[in-house]
Amino acid sequence: MATSLEGKTVVVTGAAGGLGKAIAKGYLDAGANVAVCDINDERLEQVRSEFGPTSRFLAEKTDITDEAAITKLVENVVAKFGRLDILVSNAGMTDKFDPVGSLSKEHWDRIINLNLTGSFLAFKTAVNTMEKQSPPSGTIIQIASTSSWHGLSAGAAYTASKHGVAALVKSTAGYYGPKGIYSIGLQVGGMPDTNIQDGFAALGGFNAEAYAMSVSANFKPEQAIQLKDVAKYCVFLGDRDIAASSNGSMITFAKNHPVA
């Protein structure tokens, strides 16, 4: 039986392309009201054109590392749709595979600021909004990674950021779960169809020596995770009973690569 989320409102960060866009489409197809944010103007225009016109969709340019900006986004969502039921914290970027000894502080700050601090600000804004609803309720889904538990799937900065979001999920689940606000992480494996090459380009390439030592170097096409399948799982977690049962979980979604 397909999950219907008619009347529910979802925010997906970093969702004008790649995985976020696929997740947003999954929620739209399930009947939800969906808001996406991104910092890429061109992709935002493209997703507006592709998903619109519909009264159930909103796309706004938002820097999630700016607390005022993410707060304003959620205020606009609530003003348009009346509430916030689900946050998918998806925005993030890869690193250069640098180990700690050759990692620049500039790159460390950039990755941590977006992947971890950006997630923190999205979580903070979401729980404060969800607590005010009557009754308090909501679900937060963090897009995590095999790097949330494995040390050589990426570089030191990305690995630290994704371990950090796992802690954020667990802490949020423990405190807010009894209040009806659930927090779950998806430790997603390799997804070649995301915008990962853009991330490498933005950072000036990647560390080939460190990459060769990572499990990513042994990645095979048949191990690729399909964006549509992650989207299906996010919709599945839109069921309040499933979300309650999964509260605090870091769910590995990686075709057993790296081997558990």
Task: Report the SS3 class of residue 98.
Answer: coil
Residues identified as active-site: 158, 162
- Other beta carbons within 10 angstroms of residue 240's beta carbon come to 15
Secondary structure (DSSP) of 183-247: EEEEEE---TTSSHHHHHHHHTS--HHHHHHSGGGG--GGGPPPHHHHHHHHHHTTSHHHHHHHT
Indicate the DSSP class of residue 1: -
Q: Burial level of 116, CB count in 10 A (0-12/13-18/19+)?
A: buried
> What's the token pair of residue 143?
């897009």
Question: What is d(CA 93, CA 113) in angstroms, rounded to the nearest whole number?
Answer: 10
CA 13, CA 90: separation in Å to the nearest integer?
Answer: 5
The three-class DSSP label of residue 103 is coil
